[in-house]
Structure 1
Amino acid sequence: MRSLVVIGGGPRAAGLLERIAAQSPTLPAAVHVVDPHPPGAGRVWRHAQSPLLRMNSMAEDVTVFTDSSFDGVGPVRPGPSLAEWTDVDPAAFPSRQVQSAYLSWFFDHARKSLPPNISVTVHQASAVHVDGQEVLLDNGDCLHADVLLLALGHLDAELEPEHRKLAEHAVEHGLVYVPPLYSADADLSAVTGDVVLRGFGLAFIDLMVLLTEGRGGRFEQGPDGLAYVPSGAEPTLYVGSRRGVPYHSKTGYRLQGTRPKLPRFFVADEVRGPALDFRADVWPLMAKEIAWGHYHELFTGHPDAVRMPFAEFADEFAALPWYSDGMRALELFAVPDPADRVDFERLDRPLDGVTFSSAEEFQDYLRAYVVADVARRSDPRHSADLGAFLALLSVYGQVADLMPFDGWWHGYFSYLASGPPPDRLEELLALSRAGVVRFLGADMWVEAVEGGFVAGSATTPDVVRANGLIEARLPSHTLGRTVDPVLRSLRAAGEVSEDAAGLVRVSATGRLITERGEEHPTRFAVGPFTTGKSYAAFARPHTNAPAFRQNDLLAREILRLLGDNARGR
């Protein structure tokens, strides 16, 4: 019996099993799934993490099943979204433990959907070495792999030189330093006193929760809004970043106008070229698409906010390049309120040119900024922001198909589209008012000094001194710095290679590309550590999710290699 070994048992592995089952294969085959963490959930979504940590997606926006929007070759096999499976408020942001249960159930569902001629064995162990067709596990077992798939998910990496120096400084001076890592994995037991956090995205939100409510503090609703009651065990958190502001809140409303057909202006197949420049060739069309989503919702959902007919505006908008004087003139005439116009540069760097004479002035300013952000994202009057978000999603997957992610673009996307639930920002405000969180500002800098760390920003002249520094972001993985033993063994043998960004090179069908530039006939890799696009393993319903199409293609290719003759049925 031929065998498939999948290293990594998270949602990607579960999705692949579901797509294999959808093909109704007739061959006898054995599938081995290797992961020390629970199958389906994997490391990131395992149940064994703080119940305080939550998803940053609403329950109705999460599914692991194909639906009528799916245009892959394999058949559609619909199933419940997270909201339908849990029977919770569709607009709720469930805990990661709830998502863990959903993904674990999905893995079992996919396994039970397979015909009896396909067996699945889960090995709760780690793969440590690959030699030919043999996969060695850390429990001493050895698995034969006629086909090998690396579905490793998000990976750790050796410390970058800067982080290594900071870690050595912390040891030398009896300080605390936490390098980039996954918040649920961080040992925060030694974090006390004054601590600097470098990063203001989702990793910061997780760390904020773990170091405050996770230390026994609590939030109480009072006459003046949410208040934080300290336990006395929490540190003081000084937070800053390049932008100096938190990610934008998730929206809490639905479209008020008609839903546009997206994408309209950005079609990857029409942009392709041998030497694309992201800023010059790609971003202007992306920006126009996102702006189109914004204005489509503004005109159709809020006609009182504009001063020309939508059909007329749409014709003029379609004819103009995004970065042109004509487009600016059209916006100025058609949209009287500047708050209703699209300004990508202002959104990207809201603190550019904004300075304060003291840190206290800035605390008040940034609290007002966060209050306004939560209010805007909660008010249906500003549903054009949701229109822009939907257009943003329509270009995201296309860009991944077109070229490697530009570093600025991926961060910008996360900043606009992957922010926290609004109540997390309400908690941030409460912590700020309680003096537990202090804002540093934009273009933040950190230095290691005798006996501590000092930090400041371009926003205020104030400098803080701390006994701890936390890198509030995920590790940046590259093949050259990977700590994954399987990738290290393959790299040492020249059987895997990396691109300029350090990603593992794979072909269009997901095959590993060796140092010699050859596609390996039976080894595949998929996930954020590869050049095969960083698609999320689950998706919003009715979006023809790229990951599902990728899983479908991969499943068919693997079945062909295993010898199935009924692929086309």
Structure 2
Amino acid sequence: MGTIVVIGAGPAGTCVVDRICAGAPQAGGGPAVEVHVVDPAAPARETPCGVPVHVHRDRAIGLAESAGRQLVRLLGGGILEADAVVLAQGHPGPDLENVPAGEPVLVRGAGRAFTDLLAPLTVGRGGRFTRGPQGEPVYLPGGLEPLLYVGSRRGVPHHARPGYELAGEARARRFPYEGDERQATAKELAYAYYRELFTAHPSRTRTTWAAFEPAFARAEQGGREMRALVTRSVPRFADRLHLDRLARPLHGMRFGDLAGLQRWMHGYLAADLERRSDPGFSPDLALIRALLDARPRMAGYPWFEGLFGLLADGPSLARQAELLALARAGIVTFIGAEPRIEQDEDGWRASGPTVPGLTRARTLIEARRPYTGPGGCAGPLLAGLYARGEARQAAGLLDVRLPDGRLVTGDGSVHARRFALGSLTAAGTFATLLPLADAVARAVLSQVSGALVDAAA
């Protein structure tokens, strides 16, 4: 039987395990492969296709090779041997083992790194999710969770990934820069958004795309003519694109206390879940696709990278629903935008413009995306691969060959038995996750099947 090790049980790991199970070959009336999943907070998994999936609630800290076999070293002291390894872990986060239970803990950052630390600090400490009367997740604390007080530059987490596909004519259009790349890019994003709205949902507009497009192309992005065109052509406020409002939803807002902010945040998350589940809002997905198209030339621009992360690099709908459940259970409390976090003799204190007063805690977690290149905060497994020239980076992320996700080594070759996908890689956005997981699974199964044939010979 062939052995595959998948490191990471987040969205990428779950997706690739599912595709491996769906495509696994059979031998002698049973599955020809087995899968080992390594993640400190891995849940148990269900594999109705019959492929054995062994869960190791441990951390992978090393990857080596001996006679073609891949050796995955675990923090707990064990070693897993495999025919192929898939790296699907999230960004290496802070050491969470010493985070105290039952007391306030400040968290700086509400993006991908924040999402990654939730499971180890909640279900990883004995809590569990059950279902409410409408099927929504409800969190039942285990008693060992910290109380997370979360602040970030925007004050809100990333939007969930849409659960639908485009329905209209998804064609992009470039506009001349004329000295302002930001305005030109914003216009390209708006063009994609409104094209999907007009072509997929014409009943929600007062004119046709054929009439709207030339007027849109002539108008200055964000100018009076553009605003007037959108107002008279798109009657519902919810159907109009407001990039500045999306980018800074809490800008200028003040709440009397944390309780008031929590009520607003719970509504914000619930509205995000509803909108990202409703195909009627497919223009949001067109906007994300336009962000993906623009990223190669806009990478490194802070405005663009921030908007990209907020809209195109968020959690799944299920993870976002779990975050809302954690917030309703009081495990997660949001403290607003632009927090000022300082250290004093008692620990840490946070203040900011969104709510009055101070939030105090003895512990601070930095939940901002770390640098993963050589010498950075890559974690011992990746750091070892980089140091030995067995992996390299592309734009600060793990370099892989597409479409099969094989690791690219320091000399530019690819490793036959090592694969990666997810947020560690340059192909780590949600729009590429499903097709990449399918391609990686096929390549892994092909490699393992070849190893089985060679062993039998």
In structure 2, what is the Cα distance between the partners aligned to 1:82 and 1:230? 33
SS at match of 1:329: helix
Offset of residue 362 of structure 1:
0.8
SS at match of 2:149: strand
The correspondence for 1:392, drawn from 273, 288, 291, is 291
Does the CA contact (< 8 Å) of 1:482 and 1:488 recur in 2? no
SS at match of 2:353: coil
SS at match of 1:540: helix
Structure 1 residue aligned with 2:154: 243
Offset of residue 204 of structure 1:
1.4
Q: Does 1:540 align with 2:432?
A: yes
Q: Does 1:191 align with 2:147?
A: no
* Counterpart AA for 1:430: A
In structure 2, what is the Cα distance between the partners aligned to 1:83 and 1:316? 51
Structure 2 residue aligned with 1:27: none
Offset of residue 367 of structure 1:
0.7
In structure 1, what is the Cα distance between the partners aligned to 2:111 and 2:344? 26
Q: Does 1:429 align with 2:312?
A: no
Offset of residue 420 of structure 1:
1.1
Offset of residue 293 of structure 1:
1.8
In structure 1, what is the Cα distance between the partners aligned to 2:189 and 2:335? 31
* Counterpart AA for 1:419: G
Structure 1 residue aligned with 2:335: 440
Q: Deviations over 1:446-505 (max 9, x none)?
A: 111113211232210131211211111332356675785787799xxxxx9x99x9999x
Q: Deviations over 1:168-216 (max 9, x none)?
A: xxxxxxxxxxxx9614x74424432221111111221221222112211
Q: Does 1:382 align with 2:281?
A: yes
Structure 1 residue aligned with 2:450: none
Q: Does 1:309 align with 2:208?
A: yes
Q: Call closer, same or farther: CA 1:217–1:302 in 2, change over 3 Å.
A: same
In structure 1, what is the Cα distance between the partners aligned to 2:14 and 2:162? 10
Structure 1 residue aligned with 2:114: 204
Does the CA contact (< 8 Å) of 2:96 and 2:121 recur in 1? no
Structure 1 residue aligned with 2:226: 327
Q: Does 1:418 align with 2:302?
A: no
Structure 2 residue aligned with 1:518: none
- Please show how residues 526-565 of structure 1 align to structure 2 within 5 Å: 534-536=426-428, 540=432
The correspondence for 2:361, drawn from 466, 469, 474, is 466
Aligned identity (percent) is 36
Does the CA contact (< 8 Å) of 2:126 and 2:142 recur in 1? yes
Does the CA contact (< 8 Å) of 2:313 and 2:429 recur in 1? no
More divergent stretch after superposition (351-360 vs 467-476): 467-476
In structure 1, what is the Cα distance between the partners aligned to 2:331 and 2:386? 42
In structure 2, what is the Cα distance between the partners aligned to 1:390 and 1:96? 31
Q: Call closer, same or farther: CA 1:391–1:83 in 2, change over 3 Å.
A: farther
Does the CA contact (< 8 Å) of 1:478 and 1:502 recur in 2? yes
Structure 1 residue aligned with 2:126: 216
Offset of residue 350 of structure 1:
0.2
- RMSD of Structure 2 on Structure 1 (CA): 4.6
Give the alignment's TM-score, normalised by structure 2. 0.67
Does the CA contact (< 8 Å) of 2:112 and 2:369 recur in 1? no
Structure 2 residue aligned with 1:338: 237
Does the CA contact (< 8 Å) of 1:244 and 1:443 recur in 2? yes
Q: Does 1:457 align with 2:413?
A: no
Does the CA contact (< 8 Å) of 1:300 and 1:310 recur in 2? yes
- Please show how residues 397-412 of structure 1 align to structure 2 within 5 Å: 399=296, 402=297, 404-412=299-307
Unaligned runs of 5+ residues in structure 1 are 1-38, 64-79, 88-94, 99-119, 127-152, 156-179, 272-276, 491-495, 505-521, 549-569
* Counterpart AA for 2:10: R
Does the CA contact (< 8 Å) of 1:56 and 1:420 recur in 2? no
Q: Call closer, same or farther: CA 1:413–1:236 in 2, change over 3 Å.
A: same
Offset of residue 441 of structure 1:
0.7
The correspondence for 2:198, drawn from 299, 311, 314, is 299
Q: Call closer, same or farther: CA 1:338–1:419 in 2, change over 3 Å.
A: same
* Counterpart AA for 2:142: S
* Counterpart AA for 1:249: A
* Counterpart AA for 1:441: G
Does the CA contact (< 8 Å) of 2:109 and 2:152 recur in 1? yes
Structure 2 residue aligned with 1:54: 10
Does the CA contact (< 8 Å) of 1:56 and 1:418 recur in 2? no
Q: Call closer, same or farther: CA 1:475–1:328 in 2, change over 3 Å.
A: same
Q: Which has the larger radius of gyration?
A: 1
In structure 2, what is the Cα distance between the partners aligned to 1:465 and 1:241? 16
In structure 2, what is the Cα distance between the partners aligned to 1:442 and 1:538? 26
SS at match of 1:352: coil
The correspondence for 1:290, drawn from 159, 172, 189, is 189
In structure 2, what is the Cα distance between the partners aligned to 1:537 and 1:243? 21
Give the alignment's TM-score, normalised by structure 1. 0.54
Structure 1 residue aligned with 2:371: 476
Does the CA contact (< 8 Å) of 1:444 and 1:455 recur in 2? yes
Q: Call closer, same or farther: CA 1:403–1:432 in 2, change over 3 Å.
A: closer
- Please show how residues 354-365 of structure 1 align to structure 2 within 5 Å: 354-365=253-264
More strand by share: 2
- Please show how residues 219-298 of structure 1 align to structure 2 within 5 Å: 219-223=129-133, 225-255=136-166, 257-261=167-171, 263-265=172-174, 281-298=180-197
